Structure formats: C-alpha cells, structure tokens
Amino acid sequence: MLRFVICCALAFHACLSQADVTVLEMQHDTHGQVLVARVTEQIAPGDYEALLAGITAHPGRHARKLLILDNIGGSAPEAMRMGYLLRETGFEALVPQSAVCQGSCIYLLAAGRQRSIRGHVGLHRPYLANGDSALARGQRPRRTPEAYFRDMGVHPSLAKDMQRIEPWRMQVLTPRELTRYRLQ
C-alpha cells in the first residue's frame, strides 16, 4: 500500500500547480487500472463540475478508485456535493502522512467507502453563522450536515461537535476521536 501511495503522490506532483481537483488514470503493478483523484487547496464553487468532468473523462472499469486529500477546507455545500459524487462512484479516501484534511474537507473524507488517515484531520465551525463559507453563500447543500454524515456512515454527532469549535481555531482529531466518529 505504501508503494501505491508513493506512486500516486509522484504522479500528482507535476499536476499540483494546474488545478485544485485532478483526476488521473494509472496502471498499478498489483492492482491494475486505478482511478486517482486528488483535491488540494481550498474547495470552491465549480470544484464539483471539475471532479465530475475528471471522473467522466475516464470511463470503464477500475480495480480501485482512490481519493487523495491534502485540503484546507472551503465551501461546505460544494464539498457535500462532491462527497455524494465520490460515494456514488465508489472512491476510497486517503489522507497521506504529510497531509491535512481540515474544515469542510471532512465531508470529502467521510465520502470514502474506506478511509485511511495517516495525516491530520482538523475540525472547526464554518466561518459564517449559517454554515456556509464565503465562497458558497448562494449555494445550499442537498442535506443537512447531520444527515450527510449519517448517509456516509459517519456518526452524525460530528456535525454538532464541529459547531462547538470557534472558526479561527482548529481541533486536530485524535485516533480515538476518529474511531468514535467512525471516520476510520
């Protein structure tokens, strides 16, 4: 698995400056054809469309579908839209050892059919009182955060606990908390 992750990370190194959302098809020695998506920087309106375009550009059977996260959050409604797409299309989620998944990135992590966390996962309350980021004020998620987490098999109390953390603070989840919320 470590070799697989290293290969994926090297493949994306050249693409990082091009887009926040990247989807590539890779041939892995053991697993065969793998579809790898990477979401970096800040989630913003339009990222759902970029993810959808990337996934549809690579039709066919894949032995695995892997989402690699190193993300600072952003638009919660856009992250939930992306999360439903990732779940429908069967992606696993990975936070690599040197990476972070903070803020609304938690919605992408929750969408993984399987989740591997080697890096850090951080929570905080959204910046605006109504739960949206400034970038997504006009958008509304299909479901509430509690319902979203329930749909993803994550303990819905995560949404309530996120609201207890000031927007300017970050609480990094411990392995015990990750297990309690059913994130790993």
* Domain-wise residue ranges, the chain: 2-180
DSSP state for residue 130 in the 8-state scheme: T
Which runs of E-coded beta strand occur in 46-183? 64-74, 92-95, 100-102, 115-117, 120-123, 171-172
pLDDT at 29: 86
Indicate whether 42 pLDDT > 60. Answer: yes
pTM, 2 dp = 0.82
Per-residue pLDDT, averaged over 127-141, amounts to 48
Q: What is the pLDDT of residue 56?
A: 95
Q: Looking at residue 86, what is its pLDDT?
A: 97
Between strands 92-95 and 64-74, the pairing is parallel
pLDDT given for residue 160 in this prediction = 92
Average pLDDT, whole number, for the chain? 84
Residue with more model confidence, 41 or 93: 93
Mean pLDDT computed over 144-167: 92
* pLDDT value at 118 more than 90: yes
Neighbours of 50 (CB within 10 A): 18
For 51-64, the pLDDT digits (tens) are: 999 999 998 888 89
CA atoms within 13 A on the CB side of 57: 12
What pLDDT does residue 49 have? 95
Task: Report the percent of the chain where pLDDT is more than 90.
Answer: 62
Annotation: CATH topology of 2-180: 2-enoyl-CoA Hydratase; Chain A, domain 1 (3.90.226)
What is the distance in angstroms between the CA of the first residue and the CA of the last residue of the chain? 16
CB 82 within 8 A of CB 111: yes
Percent of the chain with pLDDT over 70: 81
* Model confidence at 135: pLDDT above 80: no
